[in-house]
A and B are shown apart, each in its own frame.
Chain A
């Protein structure tokens, strides 16, 4: 089955501290993985993606994610959190089966709370 899991409903971190939002995946073949952020009453915004190549992917707003094939994980990280990073974060994986290329599976979302 193609899926992603975000094991934490919520992550709390103090401003200035590093943050990690976890994501694990299950997919046939090599995964194409994405992170999106959703601010209140807004649509999802793309942060970064892993297609191939370097396991550390850098994205928007200082976020990065580390692809780990052996652990089937794609955790989102940021060295120093900002209060403005508080939002809902979604991990997604693309279905790599040729008949389902247009299908993406999203995790259940992780709410990030950054406290001043």
Chain B
């Protein structure tokens, strides 16, 4: 069974479109994350949710809107896509870091977004 899954794996779209990426984890974790990995492989956190509550919201354009319908899901909706949004987006999950302190993150396979 896949622990952290993302759909779609690949997403090619035109500038200005709106798209969503879905993430699901079956590990029973409380906390989920979205990361962006750019073309140079640099990985940066975008958002973090803990029990459906937004905890971390980095300086991300408000065209990006995460939604967590329940603890097992964290979706990312992107409005008015721009060329610079092209990247690989990773979802991850962990137990609440504030609980055990040493919680490991489990990453999904990534969604490769290409904006033309």
Cross-chain contact of B44 among A32, A45, A106 (Cβ < 8 A) = A106
Q: How far is the CB of B78 from chain A (nearest CB, A)?
A: 19
Among the stretches B12-20, B64-72, B79-87, B102-110, the one at the interface with A is B102-110
Task: Check A45–B107 contact: CB distance below 8 A.
Answer: yes
Interface residues on A, range: 20 to 34
Interface check A43, CB cutoff 8 A: yes
CB contacts under 8 Å to B, within A30-51, are: 32, 34, 36, 38, 41-46, 49, 51
Q: How far is the CB of B94 from chain A (nearest CB, A)?
A: 9
Task: Check A108–B42 contact: CB distance below 8 A.
Answer: yes
Interface check A94, CB cutoff 8 A: yes
Closest chain A residue to B47, Cβ basis: A102
B101 surroundings in chain A (CB, below 8 A): 32, 51, 94, 101
Interface check B76, CB cutoff 8 A: no
B116 surroundings in chain A (CB, below 8 A): none
Task: Check B97–A43 contact: CB distance below 8 A.
Answer: no
Given contacts A43-B4, A51-B102, A103-B56, whether A109 and B43 have CB atoms under 8 Å apart is yes
A67 surroundings in chain B (CB, below 8 A): none
A32 surroundings in chain B (CB, below 8 A): 101-102
| A45 and B3 alpha carbons, distance in the complex (Å) | 12
Cross-chain contact of A102 among B31, B107, B108, B109 (Cβ < 8 A) = B31
Residue among A41, A43, A46 with the highest chain B CB neighbour number at 10 A: A43
CB contacts under 8 Å to B, within A76-103, are: 88, 90, 94, 98, 100-103
A-B residue pairs, 5 tightest by C-beta: A43-B107, A51-B102, A102-B48, A106-B43, A44-B107
B-to-A contact residues, CB < 8 Å: 4, 31, 33, 40-45, 48, 50, 55-56, 90, 92, 97-98, 101-102, 104-110
| A-B contacts besides A43-B107, A98-B98, 18 pairs, CB < 8 Å | A34-B104, A41-B109, A44-B90, A44-B107, A46-B106, A90-B43, A100-B56, A101-B97, A101-B101, A102-B48, A102-B98, A103-B45, A103-B56, A104-B45, A106-B42, A108-B41, A109-B41, A109-B42
